Amino acid sequence: MKTCKSCKKAKPESEFYRSRRTADRLQGVCKVCWRARDAEWKRVHHAQCLEHYRKYRRAHLADMRAKDRIYYRMRRLGIIEAKWREQFRREADALVAKLKKAGIALPIP
């Protein structure tokens, strides 16, 4: 059991997210409080979050589109089973990186 710093309730360790920074490797606040804080932070910093996402999107648009196209084609061919999706994502990532390294233009309209 561990006491949440925010709501002061004693809860089992499973009710706390992991942390690399604390001695017991768990967050100081419970999952419920953490999510509430996170939602509040996003509400307050909404514009900042949006800007961050837009910047990320702009920087990674080519990759995102290339992956989506590959993924879409494979799904249309019925190749993608749920259990293969995660593996496919990794392979698509590697493929995009390889193409980029080789200086090959990505299949973008």
Which residues of this chain interact with Zn ion, rule CB under 5 A?
A: 4, 6-7, 30, 33
CB of 80 to Zn ion, least distance (A): 40
In terms of CB distance, is 7 or 39 closer to Zn ion? 7
- In the complex with Zn ion, which residue's Cβ is closer, 25 or 46? 25
Which DSSP string do the residues of the chain spell out, in sequence order? -EE-TTT--EE-GGGS-B-SSSTTSB-SS-HHHHHHHHHHHHHHTHHHHHHHHHHHHHHHHHHHHHHHHHHHHHHHTT---HHHHHHHHHHHHHHHHHHHHTTPPP---
Instruction: Give 4 or 66: the residue with its C-beta nearer to Zn ion.
Output: 4
Q: In whole angstroms, how close is the CB of 51 to Zn ion at the nearest point? A: 30
Closest separation in Å from C-beta 39 to Zn ion: 14
